[in-house]
């Protein structure tokens, strides 16, 4: 064996128990009481600490061309920050450009990501041009190891948006080939109508970003997407869900037996739309925008009762000067916030403060993601045979988030000043120590592409 982690409390989605873990060649080979390490194996004493599976961020946008620029974290910076926040796998979005093949698009991104990735990664592909050939190629993508596709119901001027016909075709296809369709659900016509009105009235602050796409604008699209998924009896994953009414439709559909999944994000769980009235409100501009208190409370409830299955970041940061483009016009603010390094520490801190259980955090930040997207049990749990993606968490460590102690390339963080109870002290990626006590210890290129399994 290469590594033994002793005396820690192991926390999975279902269990909490004291045991030792032996690791060899990047895999967990044994879990048990009093494991004695063989000669040459490294020993980590986790007394008084929790031992958790690494988080899986199901939703990132690293070095993505978007909003007239490119999101500010490269694959290296984003996965470095991920490692330092206990995230050991990221699912990034490949954007299929017009006329581009799906595998071609994935392989293009792999070429960029492979030499940079500090932790393991996989992809979802955003389909923007669903020709008959692409519809056929979806099956090849499933076989290749990318069985999940995202459709944007908004972002017309960015060239990303698809209409209901495309959504319906993709859902119908997905059922046959074992793919999973994900949607960014907001109503584009309502947004355009409201933006036009606000701009004509000279209402240009970040608050009007929120008001141009408030709760009902998102809820309508949630309901429409669920309607189509039901019609084709196809599974559906709603990314970054942020409103109460849409969540109610998810709950209803799930109760009726449909395979509908909902993901929410830490920014929706911690902040409310009040942030858009702040002087730095533009830094919080993302789509869908952060909603009101009522939605926030519903999201927490949804996590607790299982209506929401995953919490992921939608990490898509931009530098301050880029956010400043929208100082006098909210429509010019590149959409997206940071969170890849904050996801697990924030959620675990909420557990440590008593809001939810640690097991639930592991479930929504890791285990469910692996199951839904087809990389379990290699990822998402602590078990013999699984990858040794392990986080050692000190429940007694106090941590205040600031730009200075974050590891991404972004010059600010919306999490500035947030006080956390407990913090990760070590992250192992396939048995390799990539983070310890505030220091990144990994290497670009260590991260591997994870092929996911389809649903057939």
Site residues for Zn ion per CB under 5 A:
2, 24-25, 184, 314
Give the nearest distance from C-beta 240 to ligand URP in angstroms: 6
Using CA atoms, how far residue 251 sits from 60, 86, 106, 269, 299, in Å, is: 25, 30, 33, 18, 11
Give the nearest distance from C-beta 353 to Zn ion in angstroms: 28
Nearer to Zn ion, 26 or 377 (CB): 26
2 binds, among Zn ion, ligand URP, none (CB under 5 to 8 A by kind): Zn ion
Give the nearest distance from C-beta 290 to ligand URP in angstroms: 11
Report the Cα–Cα distance between both ends of the chain, in Å, rounded.
35
Nearer to ligand URP, 3 or 62 (CB): 62
Residue nearest to Zn ion (CB): 184
- The DSSP letter of residue 154 is S
Nearer to ligand URP, 213 or 360 (CB): 213
> Bridge partners of 433?
428
| Per-residue buried b or exposed e for 198-226, using 16+ beta carbons within 10 Å of the residue's own CB | beeeeebbbbbbbbbbbbebbbbbbbbbb
Q: Are 347 and 360 in contact (CB under 8 A)?
A: no
Nearer to Zn ion, 17 or 216 (CB): 216
Nearer to ligand URP, 6 or 61 (CB): 61
Residue nearest to ligand URP (CB): 335
Nearer to ligand URP, 225 or 286 (CB): 286
335 binds, among Zn ion, ligand URP, none (CB under 5 to 8 A by kind): ligand URP
173 binds, among Zn ion, ligand URP, none (CB under 5 to 8 A by kind): none
416 binds, among Zn ion, ligand URP, none (CB under 5 to 8 A by kind): none
Nearer to ligand URP, 6 or 209 (CB): 209
Torsion of CA 253, 336, 287, 399, to 10 degrees: 60
Give the nearest distance from C-beta 347 to ligand URP in angstroms: 19
Using CA atoms, how far residue 124 sits from 16, 48, 239, 370, 426, in Å, is: 32, 38, 12, 13, 28
286 binds, among ligand URP, Zn ion, none (CB under 5 to 8 A by kind): ligand URP
Give the nearest distance from C-beta 338 to ligand URP in angstroms: 11
Can you state the percent helix, strand and coil of the chain, rounding each to 5? 35, 25, 40
| Lookup: tokens for 156 | 């017309």
Please report how the helices 293-305 and 244-255 are oriented relative to each other, as an axis angle in degrees rounded to 10: 20
Give the nearest distance from C-beta 239 to Zn ion in angstroms: 6
Q: Would you tell me which residues interact with ligand URP (CB under 6 A)? A: 61, 184, 286-287, 314, 316, 335-336
Q: How far apart are CA 269 and CA 303, in angstroms?
A: 10
Give the nearest distance from C-beta 181 to ligand URP in angstroms: 15
Nearer to Zn ion, 334 or 422 (CB): 334
Give me the long-range contacts of 322-327 (CB less than 8 A, separation at least 24).
322/67, 322/69, 322/72, 323/282, 323/283, 323/285, 324/282, 325/68, 326/206, 326/282, 326/285, 327/282
Q: How far apart are CA 350 and CA 99, in angstroms?
A: 45
Give the nearest distance from C-beta 188 to ligand URP in angstroms: 12
Length of the chain: 456
């Amino acid at each position: 064996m290469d590594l033994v982690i002793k005396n820690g409390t192991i926390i999975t989605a279902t269990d909490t128990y004291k045991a030792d873990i032996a690791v060899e060649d990047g895999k967990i080979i044994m879990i048990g009481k009093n494991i004695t390490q063989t000669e040459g194996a490294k020993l980590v004493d986790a007394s008084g600490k929790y031992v958790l599976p690494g988080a899986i961020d199901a939703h990132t946008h690293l070095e993505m061309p978007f909003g007239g620029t490119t999101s500010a974290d490269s694959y290296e910076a984003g996965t470095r920050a991920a490692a330092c926040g206990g995230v050991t796998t990221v699912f990034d979005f490949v954007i299929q450009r017009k006329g581009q093949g799906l595998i071609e698009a994935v392989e293009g991104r792999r070429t960029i990501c492979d030499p940079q990735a500090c932790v393991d990664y996989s992809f979802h592909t955003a389909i923007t041009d669903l020709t008959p050939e692409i519809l056929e190629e979806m099956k090849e993508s499933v076989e290749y190891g990318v069985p999940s596709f995202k459709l944007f119901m908004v972002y017309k001027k960015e060239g990303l948006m698809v209409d209901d016909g495309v959504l319906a075709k993709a859902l119908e296809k997905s059922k046959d080939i074992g793919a999973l369709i994900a949607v960014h659900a907001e109503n584009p016509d309502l947004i355009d109508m409201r933006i036009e009105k606000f701009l004509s009235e000279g209402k240009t602050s970040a608050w009007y970003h929120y008001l141009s796409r408030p709760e009902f604008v998102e809820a309508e699209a949630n309901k429409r997407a669920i309607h189509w998924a039901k019609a084709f009896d196809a599974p559906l994953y709603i990314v970054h869900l942020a409103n109460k009414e849409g969540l109610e439709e998810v709950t209803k559909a799930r109760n009726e037996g449909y395979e509908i999944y909902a993901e929410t994000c830490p920014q929706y769980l911690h902040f409310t739309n009040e942030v858009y009235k702040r002087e730095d409100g533009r830094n919080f501009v993302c789509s869908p925008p952060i909603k009101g208190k009522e939605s926030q409370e519903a999201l927490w409830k949804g996590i607790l009762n299982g209506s929401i299955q995953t919490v992921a970041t939608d990490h898509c940061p931009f530098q301050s000067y880029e956010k400043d483009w929208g100082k006098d016009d909210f429509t010019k603010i590149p959409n997206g916030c940071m969170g890849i390094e904050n996801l697990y520490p924030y959620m675990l801190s909420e557990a440590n403060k008593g809001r939810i259980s640690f097991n639930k955090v592991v479930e929504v930040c890791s285990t469910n993601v692996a199951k839904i997207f087809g990389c379990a049990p290699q990822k998402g749990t602590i078990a013999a045979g699984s990858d040794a993606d392990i986080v050692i968490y000190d429940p007694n460590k106090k941590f205040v988030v600031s730009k200075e102690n974050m590891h991404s390339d972004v010059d600010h963080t919306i999490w500035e000043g947030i006080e956390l109870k407990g913090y990760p002290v070590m992250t192992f990626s396939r048995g390799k120590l990539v983070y310890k006590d505030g220091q990144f210890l990994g290497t670009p290129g260590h991260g591997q592409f994870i092929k996911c399994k389809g649903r057939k």
